[in-house]
């Protein structure tokens, strides 16, 4: 240790650098997986986007493609879970939270679209969606990878955004029954959000938008009913 630098212990900054380097290594590993997930997710969203212009009768192959794309995502999520579970959960949470929200909303989206043809209006719970996507369940006392309530709720908002778009596009494709189902679904989700005391954070900002989606879907239903175009309304 040099005499003129007795101001600090030798190796003080080198030790700190070591800690930073360890952190950086973890982040690099995570980033590589998250980037892969993000790419796969974009593919899923692109397929689901195509579904906006596909009539119900021809929807099946599109949804099938979306399903296999989501299966790719599930594989990435499993790799992510394996690495992330080795580290304090919230330390690196920021690295994947957006991608996870998007991946989960894709799954919601797919199932809602399937459901709309058969049993409308089922909302996947957090436990259901994590099981479907093979995400480990929440374990508050360990650092195991999971989906947070905030991420789940964020994914619902993305779903609502997509559905309100689908309400209009269904009409264009000649399906006038869907907007009714969608309108009810969005209203029910909105009622759910109103139960939560959200403060000023990301979730609050985005959930404020849900009420506009309620209105958009209602407007579509209104337009249809005004013209006697709703199912069972028998044109005058």
Partner 1 sequence: MAEPTSDSPESPFLPIFETFRKEIDEHHERRERVIKASRDITASSKKIIFTLHRLRTIGQSLPDHIAKANKPYTTDIATKLTLIAPDLQGQNADRYSRQISSGLQEYIEAASFQYYLETGTLLTYATAASNVRDLCTGEAKVKLGYEDYILGLYDFTGEVMKFGITAMATSGTIPISGPGRTLLTDLRALRAGLEGVRFGGSPVAREVDKKAEVMRVSVEKVEKALYGLTVRAGERPKGWMPSDGDGGRGEGVEV
DSSP label at 227? Answer: T
Q: Which of 211, 219, 223, 225 binds partner 1 (CB under 8 A)?
A: 211
Q: How far is 130 from 151, CA to CA, in rounded Å?
A: 11
Tell me which residues in 49-78 interact with partner 1 (CB under 8 A).
none
Q: How far is 169 from 198, CA to CA, in rounded Å?
A: 32
Q: Which of 61, 118, 140, 174 binds partner 1 (CB under 8 A)?
A: 140
Number of alpha carbons in the 13 Å side-chain half-sphere of residue 196: 15
The smaller minimum CB distance to partner 1, of residues 56 and 225, is found at: 225
Tell me the closest approach of the beta carbon of residue 220 to partner 1, in angstroms: 14
Is 7 a binder of partner 1 (CB under 8 A)? Answer: yes
How many residues sit in the footprint of partner 1 (CB under 8 A)?
A: 53
CB 103 within 8 A of CB 85: no
CB 69 within 8 A of CB 40: yes
Q: What x/- string results for residues 84 through 103 when contact with partner 1 is judged by CB under 8 A?
A: ----xxxx-xx---------
> Residue 229 region, left (φ>0) first, then alpha (ψ -120 to 50), else beta?
alpha
> Residues interacting with partner 1, by CB under 8 A?
3-9, 12-13, 15-17, 19-20, 23-24, 27-28, 88-91, 93-94, 121, 123, 125-126, 140-141, 143, 149-150, 152-153, 184, 187-199, 211, 214-215, 218
């Amino acid at each position: 240790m040099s005499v003129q630098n007795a101001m600090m212990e030798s190796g003080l900054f080198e030790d700190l650098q070591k800690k930073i380097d360890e952190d950086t290594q973890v982040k690099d590993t995570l980033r590589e997986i998250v980037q892969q997930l993000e790419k796969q997710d974009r593919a899923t969203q692109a397929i689901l986007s195509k579904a906006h212009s596909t009539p119900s009768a021809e929807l099946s192959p599109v949804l099938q493609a979306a399903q296999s794309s989501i299966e790719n995502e599930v594989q990435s999520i499993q790799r992510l879970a394996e690495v992330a579970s080795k580290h304090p959960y919230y330390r690196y949470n920021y690295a994947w939270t957006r991608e996870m929200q998007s991946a989960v909303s894709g799954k919601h989206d797919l199932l809602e679209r399937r459901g709309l043809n058969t049993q409308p209006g089922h909302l996947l719970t957090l436990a259901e969606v994590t099981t479907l996507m093979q995400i480990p369940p929440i374990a508050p006392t360990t650092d195991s990878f999971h989906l947070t309530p905030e991420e789940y709720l964020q994914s619902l908002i993305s779903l609502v955004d997509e559905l309100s778009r689908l309400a209009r596009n269904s009409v264009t494709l000649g399906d006038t029954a869907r907007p009714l189902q969608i309108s009810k679904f969005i209203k029910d989700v909105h009622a759910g959000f109103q139960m939560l005391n959200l403060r000023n954070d990301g979730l609050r900002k985005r959930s404020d938008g849900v009420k506009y989606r309620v209105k958009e879907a209602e407007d579509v239903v209104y337009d249809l009913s005004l013209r006697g175009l709703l199912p069972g309304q028998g044109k005058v």
